[in-house]
Amino acid sequence: MAPPKADKHSRQQRVSNPDDEPQTPPNPDSDPSHETTPDPLADNDDDTGGGFEPQITFKGTRLINLQLDSPAVTKQLLKIDLKDRYDKLTAVYKELEQKFYELERLNSELQDKPRNQEGKIIRERDEAMARYQRAREERNNARADLEKAVSRAAAATEEKDAAITKLHEMAIKICDLQTRAPIVEAVKKTTRLPDAPMCYEPH
């Protein structure tokens, strides 16, 4: 019986070249060209044109709704009219922002235009940038004023509640002097609070 024929591929694997030596793959750690040292001077900030970030994250009504829900405080804030001022400044801010980007677009098309026209558009862009920055500062100042007004209104509400409580305590003391019925009714009409067990009916 004839022995089985050896496979061509297995025969090639058994044949070795004595001149070949095992080669060690290069170690990337030992090669200084593979080192990736972070550059401490690299600018990793996403600068999109002089630090302009046209984002409006403040909502005046949201601040009032989150911090205070008293109708009296809301009415007092509307009298101050700071929210209206903030909304108007925000509208101016958006308008100047739109014009600024329009001038930026025109500035990018100056390659085919005369030199004097280029200077004119650059000046208009710089002026729009200055107005844009002023509008943003005024908007931020209006927001700070509104936040201060909300804080003052909250403190005023606390003082009002404390004064009403003290007034009720004084009414109770007056009730003990046999004159409680008319005074209690007057206090109720003044403060417009629900009936409270401040005094008993007169004997």
Judged by DSSP in three states, 48 sits in coil
In a domain, 122, yes or no: yes
Closest Cα to residue 52, out of 126, 131, 132? 132
pLDDT of residue 64: 44
Mean pLDDT is lowest, of 4-8, 106-110, 159-163, for 4-8
Average pLDDT (129-144) is 88
In a domain, 2, yes or no: no
In a domain, 3, yes or no: no
In a domain, 43, yes or no: no
Crossing angle, helix 115-174 and helix 180-191, to 10 degrees?
Answer: 170
- State how far the Cα of 74 lies from the Cα of 57, in Å rounded to an integer: 21
Give residue 139's domain range: 60-159
- State how far the Cα of 137 lies from the Cα of 135, in Å rounded to an integer: 5
Terminal CA-CA length for the chain: 135
pLDDT of residue 65: 44
In a domain, 106, yes or no: yes
In a domain, 82, yes or no: yes
Decide: pTM greater than 0.75: no
Mean pLDDT over the full length of the chain: 65
Average pLDDT (84-90) is 80
Number of structural domains found in the chain = 1
In a domain, 77, yes or no: yes
In a domain, 123, yes or no: yes
- pLDDT cut 70: percent of the chain above it: 41
For residues 50 and 129, the answer to whether their CB atoms sit within 8 Å is yes
